[in-house]
A = this chain, B = another copy of it.
Amino acid sequence: MVQDKSKQPAFVLVRPQMGENIGAAARAMWNFGLDRMRVVAPRDGWPNEKAVAMSSGAGRLLDEALLSDDLEGAVGDCTYVMATTARPRDMTKTVFTPEAAMAEAASRIADGQRVAILFGPERAGLENEDIAQANAIISVPVNPEFPSLNLGQCVLLCSYEWMRASATAVPVQEALAGTEWANGEEIAHLARHYEDRMEEAGFFFPEHKAASMKINLRNLWSRLPLTRADVQMLHGMLRQIVRWKDKS
């Protein structure tokens, strides 16, 4: 999960205001294995105590953050820069979704490029002068009635998309791998067990419906995704209920 430093984009916080948000950004990055933070002209100076307090567990990102006075100093070594913006800007630049942006970043980084992602100050976002230094724009498609993502949330979504873009394959259904599914013979045995006992119990009644009831019951067992453990439990329940009957 953790990337080689040269194989990651740098996340650049431009003139961040609240220390809490810087700390939250560090945590969001490290949640997805990113640890190259850069900070441009933080309003309350550097280091920032509130940022450190909020970053618990990800404090190393702040210790190692590259601090600079202006954006140019922060991205001077980068060959491709993307700027996050909330509102549309009248600029002739490619506008990426976070997903497309991180795919682009991963592909450029794989080619040996250095990529930076810019995040603006909490209140106003990036200035047009900042965006002018970017090659492309990242815009999160939010509810137009409520486009209020904060800095930490924007960093979180981009970090998450970075992880998705850079991971070779995210295993889905891990918990089901190794599950021992019941085979056809075991299901047939279970079906017979229930059919026999239910027959004794007088369940298949009235008689002219018995055949279709049996088919419904067989269909149930064969349609359900049963494991060996499920089948054992279902056998056990039926055996126990017959013991109960026999004792009464």
Contacts and interface: CB of A to CB of B under 8 A. Distances in A.
Interface string A207-222: 0000001001100100
Contacts of A173: 94-96
Contacts of A237: 194, 198, 203, 217
Contact of A92 (B96, B229, B244, B245): B229
19 contacts: A1-B145, A31-B148, A32-B143, A33-B145, A88-B175, A92-B175, A92-B227, A141-B170, A153-B153, A156-B157, A197-B241, A201-B240, A202-B244, A203-B236, A203-B237, A220-B233, A224-B225, A225-B225, A241-B245
A124 interface: no
Contacts of A1: 142-145
Counting every copy of the chain, the complex holds 2
A172 B99 CA distance: 10
Nearest to A197: B241
A201 B240 CA distance: 7
A27 interface: yes
A132 interface: no
Given A28-B153, A57-B148, A201 B241 contact: yes
Given A176-B92, A245-B248, A30 B229 contact: no
A143 B230 contact: no
A80 interface: no
Interface of A: 1-2, 27-28, 30-33, 57-58, 88-97, 99-100, 137, 140-149, 153, 156-157, 160, 163-164, 167, 170, 172-176, 179, 194, 197-198, 200-203, 213, 216-217, 220, 223-227, 229-230, 233, 236-237, 240-241, 243-246, 248
Contacts of A227: 92
Contacts of A31: 142-143, 146-149, 153
